[in-house]
Amino acid sequence: MKTPTLITLGAALLIATITVTAQDAGKKPTDDQAAMMEAWQKLIAPGPQHKELRKLAGDYTVKQQVWMAPGTPPMDIDGTSKIRVAMGGRYLIENFNADMGPMGKFFGRGTYGYDKIRKEYVHSWIDNMNTGISITRGKETKPGVIELHGEEIDPMTNQKVKFRAVSSTNSEGKRVFQMYATKKGQEEYKMMEIVYTKTGEAPKKKKKGAADSKKKD
């Protein structure tokens, strides 16, 4: 079974082939080919969901609490996060740093996006204290609140654990990311909360024209 990513790649290659073939032959694309190209351009263009995600770009200080099990006291962690826009406004890339005390330095990287084909938000995560890639998907439940769902394997029991993540942002630039876990035979419990406080905007990329003119001066 082909994944949407492979289907998307195949469609992109088809559009490119049609364009190149038409140009080489000195002909305009047929009506069907032109309609396909137009539909493809609409599909790959960032939409209103991407515009909202871009508002999260910036520098943050973070306060994190982690609960290892229900009813246990939380572990407090301080850190920083840098969130940047990538791929022409289609994604956000987060670089997260924290000091885990006896466990050492923690570094994680996340990718946020909105999949226009599946019509859902997608978040992937990797870090230096794991070897897997965590992927969650979900919807906006109300303005400013995105709820994501995913599954992982508990390394202690080798059983599946269901995760629910809730990301909310207010108008003052403060963002709260909460994660809940449900293990087999147990009720859902809150395992993590991260409070992001924005300390600065992401630096804007310089336009090539402006950079070139400065060099000439």
Instruction: Give the three-class secondary structure for 100.
Output: coil
Alpha-carbon distance 95 to 110, whole Å? 7
Q: What pairs with residue 152 in β-bridges? A: 161
Instruction: Give the three-class secondary structure for 187.
Output: coil
Structure tokens at 34: 């032109």
Q: CATH for 50-200, among 3.40.50.1980, 2.40.128.20, 2.30.38.10, 3.30.70.3420?
A: 2.40.128.20
| Domain residue ranges in the chain | 4-45, 50-200
Alpha-carbon distance 165 to 98, whole Å? 20
Instruction: Assess contact for 179 and 136: CB atoms under 8 A.
Output: no
pLDDT at 154: 84
Output the pTM of the full model: 0.80
pLDDT at 177: 96
Instruction: Assess contact for 38 and 31: CB atoms under 8 A.
Output: no
Classify burial at 146, counting beta carbons within 10 Å of its beta carbon; exposed 0-12, middle 13-18, buried 19 or more.
buried
Q: Mind listing the pLDDT tens digit of every residue in the chain (217 residues)?
A: 444 555 455 555 555 554 545 455 556 767 776 777 787 788 889 999 999 999 999 999 999 999 988 889 999 999 999 999 999 999 999 999 999 888 899 999 999 999 999 999 999 999 999 999 999 999 999 998 999 999 998 887 888 999 999 999 876 768 999 999 999 889 999 999 999 999 999 887 765 555 454 555 5
Contacts of 10 (CB under 8 A, 6+ apart): 2
Angle, vertex CA 178, rays to CA 59 and CA 85, nearest 5: 35
Rounded to the nearest 5°, which phi and psi values hold at 36?
A: -65, -45
Residue 112 to residues 135, 150, 151, 184, 198: CA-CA distances in angstroms? 10, 14, 17, 28, 17
Could you please report the per-residue DSSP string of 134-169? EEEEEEEEETTEEEEEEEEEETTTTEEEEEEEEEEE
pLDDT at 1: 40
Instruction: Give the three-class secondary structure for 10.
Output: helix
Alpha-carbon distance 93 to 140, whole Å? 19
Instruction: Give the three-class secondary structure for 91.
Output: strand
